[in-house]
Amino acid sequence: MSQASASRRPLKVLLATPRGFCAGVDRAIQIVERAIEKYGAPVYVRHEIVHNRHVVDGLKDLGAVFVEELSECPTDRPVVFSAHGVPKSVPAEAREREMIYLDATCPLVSKVHVEAQRHYDAGKEIVLIGHAGHPEVVGTMGQLPDGVVKLIETVEDARAFTPKDPANVAFATQTTLSVDDTAEIVAALRERFPEIAAPHKEDICYATTNRQDAVKAVAAQAEVLLVLGSSNSSNSVRLVEVGRRSGAKAAYLIDDAGKLDFGWLDGVSAVGVTAGASAPEVLVQGLIDRLAEAFDVTVQNVDTVQETVSFKLPRKLTADA
């Protein structure tokens, strides 16, 4: 052992598994990459394909151009809709303008869209549990006419909501919420409306649930939790919240290793590390390497569940393959 490594304080890194990319994010990124291969650059992307700066910057380097509205896209270039989903008006506008478009909406978000439509067709009054302004919420509410879906963000909202007919209510949820927070809101709704119609299968996606469960397992053993992800990533922000509630004395959301403050680790012997569903694994390795510059690091995997989910790419991208 070198003198430098001998002088470094030991630090156990508890690595949450699963972490990082989910199947929906992986599919969305592949759709942009394959579209650039097939159609050449530039390919336009409406909204960030996923909420991660490193992913977005990498796709920009390949020839993706990110815009907020379809009106910013020329009609002679393909456009990709982000993994978060879009209101029905967006593909309708693309068809009207005779554009080539590829929908990278996560299939689990599309499932929520289908459920909302089903409830609407059945004459139900619909509430959506989610965060105002999040692209997924905008997309889900935009599946139905304006004002049809009521947004509920908190237990207080659930208690204040007054439907026209308490016996004819249904709920759906954003896919990237805190499992525990959402359970409290649903419980408040069920208490008031025992007949409320629920999703056939929980709307919070498998990846969100699995990553939160993994953080709970890590936070029970770690003094500090480091979550790699962007501040506009809902699932990443939720991981920080779950970590703080589950035993970690502190939890921090960081874009990458460069944002690590070693002061957070003063007196700490075990640090938890995870990554949000839109954060690439290279960021995790970069953080471990940075920690190894200052500490004698040992890495221990904390495995909770094995993920095997994958989603098919759109036929437009596979037909000629």
List the CATH number of the domain containing 90: 3.40.50.11270
For residue 107, pLDDT over 50 is answered with yes
Domain that holds residue 81: 23-106+311-318
Active-site option among 115, 136, 223, 281: 136
What one-character-per-residue DSSP string does 44-62 give? EEES-SSS-HHHHHHHHHH
- Pseudo-torsion of CA 316, 317, 319, 321, nearest 10°? 170
For residue 6, pLDDT over 70 is answered with no
Q: Would you call 310 exposed, middle or buried from its count of C-beta atoms within 10 A (0-12, 13-18, 19+)?
A: exposed
Residue 3 covered by a domain = no
How far the first Cα of the chain sits from its last, in Å, is 52
Per-residue pLDDT of 155-188, as tens digits, reads 999 999 999 999 999 999 999 999 999 999 999 9
Supply the pLDDT for residue 118. 95
**Hey, is 302 helix, strand or coil?**
strand
Q: Would you call 248 exposed, middle or buried from its count of C-beta atoms within 10 A (0-12, 13-18, 19+)?
A: buried
Read off the CATH number of the domain in which 182 is found.
Answer: 3.40.1010.20
Q: Is 136 annotated as catalytic?
A: yes
For residue 121, pLDDT over 60 is answered with yes
Residue 140 covered by a domain = yes
Per-residue pLDDT of 207-233, as tens digits, reads 999 999 999 999 999 999 999 999 999
141, 212: one domain? no
Residue 198 covered by a domain = no
35, 80: one domain? yes
95, 118: one domain? no
**What does the alpha-carbon distance between residue 220 and residue 118 come to, in Å, rounded to a whole number?**
41
Supply the pLDDT for residue 194. 96
Does pTM surpass 0.85? yes
Residue 2 covered by a domain = no
Region 132-141: what's the mean pLDDT? 97
91, 161: one domain? no
Dihedral class, residue 92 (left if φ above 0, else alpha if ψ from -120 to 50, else beta)? alpha
Per-residue pLDDT of 252-301, as tens digits, reads 999 999 999 999 999 999 999 999 999 999 999 999 999 999 999 999 99
For residue 106, pLDDT over 70 is answered with yes
Q: Which of 157, 192, 227 is the last residue of a domain?
A: 192
Q: Would you call 35 exposed, middle or buried from its count of C-beta atoms within 10 A (0-12, 13-18, 19+)?
A: buried
Asked if residues 139 and 87 have their Cβ atoms less than 8 Å apart, the reply is yes
Percentage of the chain lying above the pLDDT 90 cut: 94
For residue 213, give both structure tokens.
């469960």
Supply the pLDDT for residue 321. 47
For residue 316, pLDDT over 50 is answered with yes
176, 227: one domain? no
17, 97: one domain? no
> Which residues on adjacent β-strands are paired with residue 65?
44
Q: Which of 162, 192, 222 is the last residue of a domain?
A: 192
Least confident of 7-11, 48-52, 192-196: 7-11
34, 100: one domain? yes
Supply the pLDDT for residue 2. 42
What phi and psi values does residue 12 have, to the nearest 5 degrees? -90, 125
Q: What Å distances lie between residue 29 and 20, 64, 123, CA to CA?
A: 13, 11, 37
171, 227: one domain? no
pLDDT band at 320 (very low <50, low <70, confident <90, very high): low
**What does the alpha-carbon distance between residue 185 and residue 151 come to, in Å, rounded to a whole number?**
12
For residue 126, pLDDT over 90 is answered with yes
For residue 198, pLDDT over 90 is answered with yes
Residue 197 covered by a domain = no
Nearest to 102 by CA among 77, 86, 78, 73: 78
For residue 5, pLDDT over 90 is answered with no
Region 29-51: what's the mean pLDDT? 97
Region 18-25: what's the mean pLDDT? 97
For residue 200, pLDDT over 90 is answered with no
Asked if residues 188 and 155 have their Cβ atoms less than 8 Å apart, the reply is yes
Asked if residues 288 and 299 have their Cβ atoms less than 8 Å apart, the reply is yes
292, 224: one domain? yes
Q: How many domains does the chain have?
A: 3
- The rounded radius of gyration (Å) of the Cα atoms in the chain is 21
157, 245: one domain? no
User: What rounded mean pLDDT belongs to the chain?
Assistant: 95
Angle between helices 23-39 and 107-121 (to 10 degrees): 110
For residue 22, the one-letter residue type is C
Residue 266 covered by a domain = yes
**What does the alpha-carbon distance between residue 152 and residue 158 come to, in Å, rounded to a whole number?**
6
211, 298: one domain? yes
**What does the alpha-carbon distance between residue 227 and residue 230 come to, in Å, rounded to a whole number?**
9
